[in-house]
A and B are shown apart, each in its own frame.
Chain A
Amino acid sequence: MKKSELVSSSFWLVFSSLGTLESYRLGLGDFRSPGPGFLPFVASLVLGVLSLVVLLQAAYRDGGKGGVKETRSDRGNWEKIVYTLAALLLYVFLLEKLGFLFCTLVLLGFLLLVIEKQRWSVVIAAAFLATISSYILFQVWLKIQLPPGTLGIYP
């Protein structure tokens, strides 16, 4: 828990330092006429000071409230998250190239088969049903323009 506090507060400290620098570059103005960097500069300073408080609390105090207890089960399925995230990023990359129907079908199939370890029959039925119904709901009914893809296999 102490380690997680140290890691997170250090991250915010670096983030706030960058925020302060970038806001300063935008121009602070003066109190009579604050510039575009004024509020983000103040907010970055506040974030920096508070992350320093969390950092010092974590460094000099044993235990404390507000942390996260990591249990064995917490660490169990992180691979699922990594795989899902990779699939989502690939989906974003290919969506406009290959189109909504193809990408969605493959994504849902992957999530059901690899992440949820469902039977093939369930995977095929659920992926097809969800893709077609979402297409009808969004594209046909709600008139949202979903990307057709360069293949242009559907209207």
Chain B
Amino acid sequence: MEVLSGITYGFGVALQPANLLYCFFGVLIGTLVGVLPGLGPASAIALLLPSTFHIPPVAATIMLAGIYYGAMYGGSTTSILVNIPGEAASVVTCLDGYRMAQQGRAGPALGMAAFASFIAGTFSIIALTFLSPVLVRLALQFGPPEYFSLIVLGLTILSYLAGGSMVKALMMAALGIILSSIGLDVISGSYRFTYGFLVLSDGLGLIPVVMGLFGLAEVFSNLEVRSRREIFEKKIKGLLPTCQDWKDAWGAITRGSLLGFFLGILPGGGAVIASFTSYAIEKKLSKHPEKFGNGAIEGVAAPEAANNAAAGGAFIPLLTLGIPANPVMAILLGGLMINGLQPGPLLIKQAPDLFWGVIASMYLGNLMLLILNLPLIGMWVKVLRVPYHILFPLIVLFCLVSSYSLNNNIGDVTIMIFFGVVGYLMKKFGYEGAPLILALVLGPMLEEALRQSLIISHGSFAIFFASSISAALMGLALVLLILPLITHKRPVPERQE
């Protein structure tokens, strides 16, 4: 009953004309971001966050959420038509999607990607609707030791599933924690690592760091090696998949939705990992694994279902525990906190309009995305023709203006440029940005939970194993840390961020 009355109230909020419009803007920008290679949802949300300070927090969150799940839809278009992923979660869609386009089946590939995204997206929102209140009750039992263990597990999972070296991913998580301690220490009242720079006294801003690491660094990489964009088909015909296509893809969509949703919930999981894992599972389960990579429709349906389900699932830890599952959620958390809201178990009571309004808006957003991505596919193909030499100065300009507008401070722009160079070098040397960002956001929570736990236990680390929840979370983190040493194997996806 609580859920039904909540979601009805949520629809009342989401259907207000202004919120509906912001939802539409969100999914539209999200699709655009997904379609355009070189700009991911994390940097797009970071770019737009300062401009949402002037609108109500519910409308702002509805729009920013729309950008995230909208990007998952849009990414497949570029993968299928150009063989370049629009964003990282669509890398694996290139394998079979582009092959289908080469075989003259771009229409059904795009259609299946959109339908799989819609089905999985809707499934994950229904699960989000019903699971969130249950998890809120569980979250109320969380004290400092449980929060500490959960954050440690989240950072470990992200490092475990990171592409490339796990040691390097853990290094970036450690670096993120060090960087998160810059600024005023609220417990002792002393400044740490500020060295007289006023811009650092409030800590290192998340938005300039994200814009630098994901936005400007991407620009630098593209300046160095420019990928060629050739659109495969000029006219897209027959978007509806055939009965045989549906028969082949149905199981993949179901499994992709379930897997994506659960990987999305896990702190440190997310859409990229979900898409790779679901593709690998489908290939393993298939009676014709040789078809994968040669235009199998399951190879399009599974990852697209998984990345959209993960996008919905990722809202659960944010809304119920106040813990972001991935960098995009970390930026959303930052946005909510700027608006004076503290995501966590009390959010459902303190801001029910935001909690239920955002969830309800996702049902509407998914429907809008289906319309945007099927009948209007021609428009996105045109967008794909915008040359990068026009896009690149615009991305740079947006990075500059957005970081300046945060506090009207040139120091934030300098931080953004600095992290742009850092991010570029990290890419060159094979270090991932995601663990750094997540640790940067979770660092203050981790530190507060650690210090409070140790004060409560009079300095005993056994407190992290005293309650069953904390012990289970810590145990899982330890297993994930030790497992690669024993088996010398990790489910490391070959991917590009």
User: B287 CB to closest chain A CB, in angstroms?
Assistant: 32
Name 10 extra pairs, CB < 8 A, besides A66-B430, A104-B400.
A8-B429, A8-B431, A33-B459, A36-B192, A40-B178, A43-B174, A54-B167, A57-B167, A108-B397, A138-B51
CA gap between A126 and B404 in the complex, in Å: 22
Q: Given the complex, which residues of B lie within 8 Å of A80, measured CB to CB?
A: 223-224
* A-contact bits for B428-472, CB 8 A (1 contact / 0 none): 111100000000000100110011001100111100000000000
A65-B174 Cα distance, complex, nearest whole Å: 21
Contacting A at CB under 8 A, from B127-159, are none
Q: 28 A–B contact pairs at CB < 8 A?
A: A12-B175, A26-B190, A31-B454, A32-B454, A34-B450, A36-B192, A40-B177, A40-B181, A40-B192, A44-B178, A47-B175, A50-B171, A53-B167, A54-B168, A66-B167, A68-B429, A77-B223, A81-B424, A84-B396, A92-B410, A92-B414, A95-B413, A107-B396, A107-B397, A115-B223, A126-B393, A127-B393, A144-B50
Across the A-B interface, give the 4 residue pairs with the lowest CB-CB distance, nearest first: A66-B165, A31-B459, A32-B459, A43-B177
Given A68-B430, A138-B405, the answer on whether A32 and B185 have CB atoms closer than 8 Å is no
A147 CA to B165 CA, complexed, in Å: 44
Interface residues, chain B, with chain A CB atoms under 8 Å away: 50-51, 54, 164-165, 167-168, 170-171, 174-175, 177-178, 181, 185, 187-188, 190, 192-193, 219-220, 223-226, 389-390, 392-394, 396-398, 400-401, 404-405, 408, 410, 413-414, 417, 420-421, 424, 428-431, 443, 446-447, 450-451, 454-455, 458-461
User: How far apart sit A35 and B181, CA to CA, in the bound complex (Å)?
Assistant: 12
The interface residues of chain A lying within 8 Å CB-to-CB of B50 are: 144
**Which residues of A, 10-30, contact B by the 8 Å Cβ criterion?**
12, 19, 22, 26-27, 30
Q: Once bound together, how far apart are the Cα atoms of A148 and B3, in whole Å? A: 51
* Any B CB within 8 A of the CB of A91: yes
B478 to chain A, nearest CB (A): 15
- The answer on a CB contact under 8 Å between B408 and A145 is yes
| Secondary structure of the A contact surface, majority rule | helix
A142 in contact with B397 given A34-B450, A40-B177, A74-B225 (CB within 8 Å) = no
With both chains docked as a complex, state the minimum distance between the C-beta of A85 and any C-beta of chain B, in angstroms.
7
- In whole Å, how far is A150's beta carbon from the nearest beta carbon of chain B? 14
Interface-centre pick from B429, B443, B459 (highest chain A CB count, 10 A): B429
Q: Given A22-B193, A40-B192, verify A111-B396 contact (CB < 8 Å).
A: yes
Q: How many A-B residue pairs have CB under 8 A?
A: 168
Interface residues of A in 72-105 (CB under 8 A from B): 73-74, 76-78, 80-81, 84-85, 88-89, 91-92, 95-96, 104
Interface residues of A (CB under 8 A from B): 4-5, 7-8, 12, 19, 22, 26-27, 30-40, 43-44, 46-47, 50-51, 53-54, 57, 65-68, 73-74, 76-78, 80-81, 84-85, 88-89, 91-92, 95-96, 104, 107-108, 111-112, 115-116, 118, 126-127, 130, 134, 138, 142-147
Q: Please give me the residue from chain A that is nearest to B177 by CB atom.
A: A43
Nearest residue, chain A, Cβ from B394:
A130
Which residue of chain A has its CB nearest to the CB of B426?
A: A8
Which secondary structure characterizes the binding site on chain B? helix
Q: A53-B167, A134-B401, A146-B404 are in contact. Are A73 and B225 (CB under 8 A)?
A: yes
In Å, the complex CA distance between A23 and B398 comes to: 36
Residues of B within 8 A of A68 (CB): 428-430
Query: B451: nearest residue on chain A (CB-CB)?
Result: A34
A47 adjacent to B178 (CB under 8 Å)? yes
A35 closest partner in B (C-beta): B188
CA distance A148 to B307 in the complex (A): 44
CA separation between A34 and B392, bound complex, in Å? 47
B386 smallest CB distance to A (angstroms):
12
B406 CB, nearest partner CB in chain A, Å: 10
For residue A57, which residues in chain B have a CB less than 8 angstroms away from its CB? 167
List A contacts of B447 (CB < 8 A).
Answer: 39
Is there contact, CB below 8 Å, between B54 and A112? no
A contact residues around B187 at 8 Å (CB): 36
- Return the contact of B51 from the options A34, A74, A91, A142 (Cβ within 8 A): A142
Shortest distance in angstroms between B48's beta carbon and chain A's nearest beta carbon?
10
Chain B residue with Cβ nearest A12: B171
| A108–chain B nearest beta-carbon distance, Å | 5
A31 to chain B minimum Cβ distance, whole angstroms, is 3
